[in-house]
Amino acid sequence: MYLTAQRILRVKDKKGGINAFLYQHGKHDLPPNAQFSNVDWITNQYPGKLIAESVDLVPGGNAVLSFIDIVGKEGLDKECIQQFLDQIECSVKDIHTPITKSAPDLAVKFGITVGLHGHEAREYKALTERVMHLFESREPPRWRTGNPWIVIHRNISHNQETFSLSSETAEKLKQIHDESWNSSRVSIDRDTKDNVELLHGDLIQHIAPVLTDLTLEQIAAQGGLILCDSLTEKKIKWPELREI
């Protein structure tokens, strides 16, 4: 089991929130010699299968302000995890580097950024409450499993890329907004695109809200979107940035 929560900040619009995820380890997902006390090794190399999530902001391109990672054997009950979290709560005050606490079948890592020093107890409480709610509710991962109907076409001409909605998408959005709403196009030259992605992450998260008049979270709630390259016919599903 891998249970995690992060307080995050989206840099481009200063919007903040908490995202939490629950991963499950199958029978053969962890090496026989896996030690839960090595939290980073498990979370980076063997996170498991995502089975539940509670998302305030679409993941990707966000600054992490605080986090908690909980790893342990499958089958642990809520009371066992909560008791261990309560036991180590007093250890989180005035920390300057992430701390890790472990038990035979469970380990916890907690950390914050410099800007949140002095608020360790508040952050710890907020994150642990979020992960334990998710552990109990098991909210399914929505934006990763939905079937997106929002389709954006990308056309490349000389040194410029142009993004536009498919006609079907534009019609559905007109029903969501109103009949007077009209779709638009966004064009950007290659150099500008490269600079934007270098500084602010993948371009589509900036283009999609402009084209749809929806927030990233509203788009994700619809199952995300599909980016179609008109030249190569390659299709990418967002937010995962996975080819389909």
How far is it, in rounded angstroms, from Cα 244 to Cα 233?
Answer: 11
Amino acid symbol at 95:
I
Q: Which of 82-86, 131-135, 184-188 has the lowest mean pLDDT?
A: 184-188
What's the Cα-to-Cα distance from 189 to each of 3, 65, 195, 225, rounded to whole Å? Answer: 41, 33, 10, 22
At 179-199, the pLDDT tens digits run 889 888 999 987 787 776 666
- Model pLDDT, residue 146: 66
Q: Which of 23-37, 71-85, 104-118, 144-158 has the lowest mean pLDDT?
A: 144-158
How far is it, in rounded angstroms, from Cα 243 to Cα 63?
Answer: 25
Mean pLDDT of 121-135: 96
Mean pLDDT of 80-105: 90
Which residue has 């909560």 as its token pair? 82
Q: Residue 57 CB: number of other CB atoms within 10 A?
A: 21
In percent, how much of the chain has pLDDT > 90? Answer: 57
Looking at the predicted structure, is the pLDDT value of residue 203 above 90? no
- Model pLDDT, residue 15: 87
Looking at the predicted structure, is the pLDDT value of residue 136 above 90? yes
- Model pLDDT, residue 95: 82
Mean pLDDT of the chain: 89
Show the tokens assigned to 154: 């990308």
At 60-75, the pLDDT tens digits run 778 999 999 999 999 9
CB 85 within 8 A of CB 68: no
- Model pLDDT, residue 163: 94
Predicted confidence band of residue 130 (pLDDT cuts 50, 70, 90) = very high
Please state the domain extents for the chain. 2-140, 147-243
More confident site: 32 or 24: 24
Q: Region of 149 please: left (phi>0), alpha (psi -120 to 50) or beta.
A: alpha
- Model pLDDT, residue 96: 79
- Model pLDDT, residue 202: 76
At 103-126, the pLDDT tens digits run 989 999 999 998 888 899 999 999
Which residue has 């995962």 as its token pair? 240
Nearest to 131 by CA among 120, 143, 121, 123: 123
Looking at the predicted structure, is the pLDDT value of residue 145 above 70? no
- Note the Cα 202 to chain centre separation in Å: 14
Tell me the whole-structure pTM to 2 decimals: 0.74
Q: Which of 35-39, 126-130, 215-219 has the lowest mean pLDDT?
A: 215-219
